[in-house]
Structure 1
Amino acid sequence: MSLEKKHHLLIIDPQNDFCDPSGSLFVPGASSDMERLAQFMHNKKTTLNRLFITLDSHHHYDIAHPSYWIHQSGADVEPFTTVTIDDIHYKRIVPRNREDRDRTYNYLCELDRMGTSHTIWPEHCLIGSWGHQIYPIIAQAIQAFQGRIHQSPTVLFKGMNPYTEHFSALSAIIPDMMDRHTQFQTMFAEELLNCDHLYIAGEALSHCVASTIQDLIRTVDCKQRSPITLLLNASSPVSGFESIVDVMLEEWSQAGIYIKDIHEVLEEE
């Protein structure tokens, strides 16, 4: 039996649309995050031996995109618009496809019961597009990592169901009972957590990274298991969500998540 410790790295959505300054939903700071993360992966001190990657993967017609929605007047709905239950009830903003209106209204009701709302984002991470591809410096680091450990990464595509947001690596915000890919990814979670140390990085800290960490906290007692560390300087929030992240970081720390910069982790190796 090998006594080698298992150190896993989860990289959340390291894609061009989030990480490249010309991406449709560029996260300020993401390109620098990815440079630091790539250096971490290349560093000889790094003891990682398994890699997990999630890729945000959307269709053009998607509940998160403007193409799904239309104003009562016939005008397009702008990115970063918040859509409410009342908007649909009073037909101020509705799905373009009439057959989707009841389903979408019920979805927004579920979000409201959860105390959250629905934001329309710029069209992003369209399957097969440049924006969907992995940011080059991370793609290169992933290839080099495979050459070093002789193992391919575990890759999870999320977001292909057009009727629900899918921020977390582990489940959609409102799982579709007819679509197992939106439900809690038990096997992925078990493989991810079967380690002596899990490191988490990626984009965006305020959304997909945050939702993943919150799912992990709900799933396991982070104080009683092997460490989970957020690489803080390898993840950034969407602009305007910085103050929310500050609150979440404190909550995660209290729940047992370690929050460290990469240089701190390397000093401990």
Structure 2
Amino acid sequence: MAVLEEASGALSLRTWMERHRAEILRHRDGRRIDWVALCRWFSDVGLVNARGLAPTVRCAKMTWYRVGKWMEARKERASVRAEEAARTATFREEAEQLTNQAHIHRERVKPGAELKEKMEQAERAAASAREKRERDERDRVQQSRQAEFDARKALESAPVVATTPPGQYPKQKILSDERGMALPPCEEENFPPAKKGEISGATGNPWEFDDLPGYPSKWHFEYELDWVRVVSRMLRQRHETNRTMTMDEEDVVMCGQSYKYVI
């Protein structure tokens, strides 16, 4: 009840779920969630989805799933960083010990071929272990992304219904990168951000990505790939590494790289 009472205010549904997902899971203790009753309560306390509307059961379930995947990925990244830091500290200690031992040996006798060979073997072993960790990490990330992609496709296999009549929102083709940079962020527009699955009024095709907070909306573009090209470049200018991007931002950058829209 404390978790539910705290939500009375102006929080978004996703923010509320990010804060209280763990408490809800502990409280349910393996029992199924009554989404109908929960969505009714969301409406009573004023929790809304990204469009500012009261969430439906399908919307609440999808948000719950995405929040869970995001929190799991964040936990995995933190765990990987912690393990890498521990391994780095261990290797540093071992390297310091080897250095101290080598120094003592040099003080006593001249370094011989045997000591040199042992040090080279240690360096080769460390390099081999480092390369194996990097390969394992790349394989793990690839498998995680493939699993998430398969799960997302399964959830979104239902027929897409056009939610935005053609011509309702302003559309114009971006003619240059400078024009794209001058557009305001999508959340500052006077119309809702474009969502994945909505139908483009210009082409009649569904969008493949959601609008990204802090970046121009797709409603200004005739083709989504033009939007990918502009936003990918803006993301690369803002982030030095993919580690600081959200999963949605990283998906857009990877799409831009695949189609060579980022030069």
TM-score normalised by the chain length of structure 1: 0.22
Q: Which has the higher helix share?
A: 2
Larger of the two Rg values belongs to structure: 2
TM-score normalised by the chain length of structure 2: 0.23
Q: Which has the higher strand share?
A: 1
Higher relative contact order (CA 8 A, sep 6+): 1
